[in-house]
């Protein structure tokens, strides 16, 4: 099953940025890049990456619209030369305005090829300020099979990027799979990435703001790799191994909690969260700021465009995916560990705060021994269990 994979970078960013998540994903895709003098043929795997609007020129709304229109036209022309049968699939990943471009490209493909050519979309915090082609940039049509969306939970306050609603879903899409992920951090932290985080190699000399931001982008990368793998995009051997490693994803989720507020992870419910705002190692003036936990991205607004997250701002779990992954892995190691985590999940989901009560069937002595056994497998996860549940 040949695949055609498109990566659309966010506004003001480009493919020469070493720490950009979209660039890293593009490099980890084992396909032929379409650039001169490549001639597109059928039955091959191809990949395309588009710079963000405003990267190659001054950012202007009309210029941005023209640029996005050109990207969509070019992509559709390439797909027309490549597409050969009903098993072909176009996979797209985009951030910010690049996520809007993914939706718009899917619409163009539907107009050109009907619903026979299927698309999968992974949208990373799509923006709301883009009113570009309101219907086509906000509506999912019958050629979309699977749509994943990451929604960031925090904002900067001043100049905040508001939440973006998908305006409509075609009534014929009863079977479309829409999957939501919620992550802490601001709009820009979703795509700040370093391979050092995925391999667990954060140096003591690494600045605090970098250590805080990178695990968020690393989780986004691993979740996207898992989706691309399921959708048929060919990956490099390293990326394929990472996509299939549940413990790597679990440890990276746990690193978010450990670095966001390491001193009191179970009480991270009010005040300021240590989250990087627009950290970009490629740009001068990038710096760390502490942003409001709630800000304008309130729980009501987040639930309207995404999904509920009863674990927002509560230690041990980042979101529902993190909780499910943790319980499955802990159950495979020892029932006591799963019982502890499940009791904490139930307590926090019901609105409890602080340290959850101990389940009556597990003693602290038993739990301490089980957590110590977990250390060689998952040091960050075991550290969180000890700190959040007050295990000695």
Instruction: Render 214-227 in DSSP notation, one character per residue.
Output: HHHHHHHHHHHHHH
What integer pLDDT is reported at residue 206 of this predicted model? Answer: 56
Crossing angle between the packed helical segments 320-333 and 335-349, to the nearest 10 degrees: 160
User: What residue ranges of the chain have pLDDT lower than 70?
Assistant: 57-61, 128-137, 156-174, 194-213, 259-296, 392
> What does the domain layout of the chain look like in residue ranges?
3-254, 314-392
What is the reported pTM?
A: 0.85
Largest Cα separation within the chain, whole Å, is: 68
Residue 228 burial by Cβ neighbours in a 10 Å radius (0-12, 13-18, 19+): buried
Please report the sign of the dihedral spanned by the C-alpha atoms of residue 355, residue 359, residue 363, residue 368.
negative
If you ran DSSP here, which 8-state letter would residue 40 be given? -
The hierarchical CATH code for the domain 3-254 is 3.40.50
What integer pLDDT is reported at residue 285 of this predicted model? Answer: 40
The closest alpha carbon to 4, from 75, 74, 103, belongs to 75
Q: Are 103 and 68 in contact (CB under 8 A)?
A: no
Chain segment 158-212, per-residue pLDDT in tens: 445 566 666 555 545 557 888 999 998 878 778 877 655 545 455 555 555 555 5
What integer pLDDT is reported at residue 294 of this predicted model? Answer: 42
Q: Are 53 and 11 in contact (CB under 8 A)?
A: yes
What integer pLDDT is reported at residue 303 of this predicted model? Answer: 85
What integer pLDDT is reported at residue 283 of this predicted model? Answer: 41
Chain segment 234-267, per-residue pLDDT in tens: 999 999 999 999 998 998 888 888 766 433 333 3
Task: Quickly list H helices, 192-267.
Answer: 195-198, 208-231, 237-243, 246-260
What integer pLDDT is reported at residue 128 of this predicted model? Answer: 67
What integer pLDDT is reported at residue 281 of this predicted model? Answer: 40
């Amino acid at each position: 099953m040949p695949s055609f994979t498109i990566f659309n970078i966010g506004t003001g960013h480009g493919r020469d940025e070493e720490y950009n998540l979209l660039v890293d994903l593009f490099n980890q895709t084992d396909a032929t890049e379409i650039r001169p003098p490549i001639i597109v043929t059928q039955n091959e795997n191809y990949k395309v990456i588009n710079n963000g609007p405003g990267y190659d020129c001054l950012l202007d709304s009309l210029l941005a619209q023209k640029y996005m229109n050109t990207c969509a036209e070019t992509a559709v022309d390439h797909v027309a030369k490549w597409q050969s049968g009903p098993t072909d699939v176009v996979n797209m990943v985009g951030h910010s305005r690049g996520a809007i471009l993914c939706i718009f490209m899917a619409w163009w493909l539907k107009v050109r090829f009907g619903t026979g050519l299927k698309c999968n979309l992974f949208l990373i915090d799509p923006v709301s300020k883009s009113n570009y082609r309101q219907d086509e940039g906000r509506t999912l049509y019958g050629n979309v099979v699977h749509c994943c969306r990451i929604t960031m939970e925090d904002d900067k306050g001043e100049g905040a990027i508001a939440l973006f609603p998908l305006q409509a879903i075609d009534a014929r899409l009863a079977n479309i799979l829409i999957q939501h992920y919620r992550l802490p951090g601001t709009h820009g932290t979703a795509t700040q990435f370093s391979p050092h985080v995925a391999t667990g190699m954060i140096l003591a000399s690494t600045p605090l703001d970098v250590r805080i931001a990178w695990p968020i982008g690393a989780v986004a990368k691993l979740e996207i790799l898992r989706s691309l793998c399921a959708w048929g995009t060919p990956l490099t051997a390293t990326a394929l191994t990472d996509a299939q490693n549940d413990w790597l994803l679990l440890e990276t989720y746990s690193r978010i909690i450990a670095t966001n507020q390491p001193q009191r992870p179970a009480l991270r419910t009010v005040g300021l969260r240590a989250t990087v705002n627009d950290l970009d190692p490629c740009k001068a003036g990038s710096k760390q700021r502490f942003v409001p936990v709630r800000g304008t991205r309130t729980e009501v607004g987040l639930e309207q465009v995404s999904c509920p997250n009863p674990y927002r701002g509560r230690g041990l779990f980042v979101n529902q995916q993190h909780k499910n992954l943790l319980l499955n892995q802990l159950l495979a190691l020892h029932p006591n560990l799963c019982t502890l985590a499940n009791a904490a999940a139930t307590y926090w989901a019901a609105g409890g705060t602080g340290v959850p009560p101990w389940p009556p069937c597990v003693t602290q002595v038993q739990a301490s021994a089980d957590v110590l056994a977990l250390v060689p497998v998952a040091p960050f996860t075991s550290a969180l269990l000890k700190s959040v549940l007050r295990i000695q």
